[in-house]
Structure 1
């Protein structure tokens, strides 16, 4: 079974990520098990999917978090795709979901995710990571401890270092 990192623990990845067909048709949703559907499918089938339970939503880099809006707060799992290391739009999506739309559940990064990106993803509110298949997940986990302090504010640390030092 594939693995992922959730809250600094390596666990089994039991959720099924569904993708739309090339013609845009939505994927069939299995009767059981946790599924992660594309944002467009969730918006089109929200009532049925919420009644089913065990559903998460995933964002492509060009999806807009405001389309999900306040519904984000009611979900337990949102995933964000990082198709390439050079595409940073997912960082903004994660931060917006946490800070503007009140999402408190599992925020999962998948795609081109590896050790060097984990610290920055955590600063934007991500707490779950599907590591690239060609990378060692145990080694990637160590990336969460690469830095012990940061100057700037973030989702993980809302107060910048100069304010934290002044307060102490």
Structure 2
């Protein structure tokens, strides 16, 4: 699984997107004593070093599919970036993690999908609150971004549009 040099980022206030350089490094296991800027740590390591890292906006965390958002709890609202790993297309646990982080734990920073992320998943990820997407290394990031345009309207409410269609239409 390679790292794509660019990510797709959404502005949640207006839905505009751009493709930008990926400056964050996701590490699989612990760092030495000093954690460099723009590092995404595994949830377990971040929890072990919580007191040291909580105030650092240049350090984020990443969730594995079997990590529980409850372990992070209200600290989520104090972080600037959280990534969620999707190791395989058939593993949808990350969708729930993203939604819980946004809706239950008040996370307002960048919520990034990483791993097996490609065009067909982007729109559904956005609906669950994700606003940054690290596309699989073997996929074209420009082509993948078009997946955000697959549908223009939704019946159901979700993290990106809390009101269902009948409420938005006034009926």
TM superposition shift of 1:53: 4.2
Q: Given the alignment of the two structures, is residue 144 of structure 1 paired with residue 148 of structure 2, yes or no?
A: yes
For the pair 1:134 / 2:124, whether they are aligned, the reply is no
Residue 44, structure 1, aligned to residue 48, structure 2: yes
- In structure 2, what is the Cα distance between the partners aligned to 1:107 and 1:146? 21
Q: Which moved more, 1:43-52 or 1:148-157?
A: 43-52
Q: Is the aligned partner of 1:3 residue 2:12?
A: no
Is the alpha carbon distance of 1:54 and 1:92 closer, same or farther for their aligned partners in structure 2, counting shifts above 3 Å? Answer: same
RMSD, matched Cα? 1.5
1:7-22 alignment to 2 at 5 Å? 7=10, 8-20=17-29
CA distance, structure 1, for counterparts of residue 103 and residue 33 of structure 2? 30
Describe the superposition over 1:38-79 as per-residue Cα deviations: whole angstroms up to 9, x where unpaired. 000000001222355411010000000010000000000000
Kindly tell me the number of residue pairs found equivalent between the two proteins.
162
1:112 aligns with 2:116: yes
Residue in 2 that maps onto 1:27: 31
Normalising by structure 1, we get a TM-score of 0.91
- Whole-Å separation in 2 of the counterparts to 1:72 and 1:13: 22
Q: Deviations over 1:66-101 (max 9, x none)?
A: 100000000000000000001000000000000000
Q: Flag structure 2 segments of 5+ consecutive residues without an equivalent.
A: 11-16
Give yes or no for contact 1:112–1:131 (8 Å, CA) kept in 2. Answer: yes
Cα offset for 1:151?
1.0
* Aligned partner of residue 61 in structure 1, secondary structure: coil
Ranges in structure 1 where 5+ consecutive residues have no aligned partner: 21-25
1:164 is displaced (CA, Å) by: 1.9
Report Cα offsets for 1:14-58 as digits up to 9, x if no partner: 1111112xxxxx233655321100000000001222355411010
Q: Partner residue of 1:154?
A: 158
